[in-house]
């Protein structure tokens, strides 16, 4: 592959992709909203025409899940409509569009991991806007849609940092939801997988999450354990922590397709967490 364009490049996954591309000696360019607002179709077309990348990975998104409930139009403009601009521009330059999507396109009612071809049925505004993004990305001649979940990356606002902040703030007890299940996913591992998927010419929908699954409570306990912190973690039901947006009960994504395409599974989530903490611990 010669040439990668990353949109939303100041975000968790965008940064990780640029690091991974640099490590591979790939020519890569990143833009966030200040230099390329993906809502602007003319700016998108000009940028693609100027760079003519082999692939565009769109990590730009309105990711504040609760805020999407009251700002669905704004979220749709970024997570949905703008992806159509990217798809149209990619078709003009022969660029592969890689759209990053989410477990939130599913209802979470299934009692097994979700497969790529399971019918989406979002239960939140965020999920609806991301599903629209998938539909528009699928209109690009060459497209790859990578659904991920429970993402955390270096320099980002994420669950690991929220737990770490509470520990450092002197909390003695954390109350964490224990009835939502998913696969915590390190942006560095996902970036590696995305570039490998491009290398093998993957197209269509692929699920990309770290291997294994847990609940938010299980994830919090593992963070506390790996940080060797003296904090109690109490499991609570979702109903005890009311939030504007509904969350899927089951967010576990099946990754058999990715494993077959790459000839290897994704790393296990506790191992990924250890590498993230090693990279981000200051003391
Ligand atoms: N985080 C998760 O748990 C999770 C789970 C499943 C899927 N995903 C998906 O994975 C992808 C990457 O997520 P992430 O956690 O890396 O997101 P992130 O850290 O929130 O980064 C998204 C970036 O996009 C930028 N952006 C927003 N509007 C834009 C626009 N109009 N034009 C260009 N850039 C814009 C944001 O800027 P501002 O910060 O200034 O808004 C931010 O820098 C997203 O597609 C997300 O939907 C995330």
- Encode pLDDT of 217-262 as tens digits: 999 999 999 999 999 999 999 999 999 999 999 999 999 999 999 9
Residue ranges around ligand 1 (CB below 6 Å):
7-8, 10-14, 32-33, 37-39, 59-61, 63, 78, 100, 102, 130, 148-151, 156
Predicted confidence band of residue 118 (pLDDT cuts 50, 70, 90): very high
**Structural contact between residues 60 and 7, judged by C-beta atoms closer than 8 angstroms:** yes
Q: Confirm whether 152 is a catalytic residue.
A: no
The closest residue, in CA terms, to atom 39 on ligand 1 is 11
Q: Is the pTM of this model over 0.85?
A: yes
pLDDT of residue 281: 85
pLDDT tens-digit series, residues 119-160: 999 999 999 999 999 999 999 999 999 999 999 999 999 999
Domains belonging to the chain, first-starting first, are 4-157+183-212+253-267 (3.40.50.720)
Q: Report CA(195)–ligand 1 centroid distance (Å).
A: 18
Average pLDDT over residues 256-274: 98
Nearest to 133 by CA among 207, 63, 79: 79
Q: Which atom of ligand 1 is nearest to the CA of 187?
A: 16
Interval between CA 173 and ligand 1 midpoint (Å)? 30
Q: What percent of the chain has pLDDT over 70?
A: 99
What is the per-residue pLDDT across 79-97, written as a single tens digit (0 to 9) for each? 999 999 999 999 999 999 9
Residue 89 near residue 62 (C-beta atoms within 8 A): no
Q: How many CB atoms lie within 10 A of CB 263?
A: 8
**Could you say which of 104, 114, 126, 152 is catalytic?**
126
């Amino acid at each position: 592959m010669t040439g990668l364009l990353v949109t939303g490049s100041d975000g968790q996954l965008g940064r990780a992709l640029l690091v991974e591309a640099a490590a591979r000696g790939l020519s890569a360019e990143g833009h966030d909203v200040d230099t390329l607002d993906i809502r602007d179709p003319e700016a998108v077309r000009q940028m693609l025409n100027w760079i003519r990348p082999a692939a565009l990975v769109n990590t730009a998104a309105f990711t504040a899940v609760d805020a999407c409930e009251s700002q669905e139009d704004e979220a749709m403009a970024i997570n949905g409509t703008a992806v159509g601009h990217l798809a149209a521009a990619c078709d003009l330059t022969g660029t592969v569009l890689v759209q990053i999507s989410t477990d939130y396109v599913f209802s979470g009612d299934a009692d097994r991991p979700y497969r790529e071809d399971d019918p989406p049925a979002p239960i939140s505004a965020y999920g609806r806007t991301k599903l629209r993004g998938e539909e528009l990305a699928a209109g690009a001649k060459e497209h790859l849609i990578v659904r991920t979940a429970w993402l955390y990356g270096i320099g980002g606002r994420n669950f690991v940092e929220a737990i770490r902040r509470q520990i450092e703030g002197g909390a003695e007890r954390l109350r964490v939801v224990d009835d939502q299940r998913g696969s915590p996913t390190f942006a560095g591992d996902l970036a590696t997988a995305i570039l490998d998927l491009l290398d093998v010419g993957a197209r269509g929908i692929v699920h990309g999450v770290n291997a294994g699954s847990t609940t938010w409570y299980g994830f919090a306990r593992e963070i506390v354990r790996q940080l060797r912190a003296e904090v109690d973690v109490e499991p609570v039901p979702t109903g005890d922590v009311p939030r504007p947006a509904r969350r899927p009960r089951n967010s576990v994504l099946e990754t058999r397709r990715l494993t077959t395409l790459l000839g290897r599974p994704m790393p296990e989530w506790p191992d990924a967490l250890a590498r993230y903490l090693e990279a981000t611990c200051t003391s």
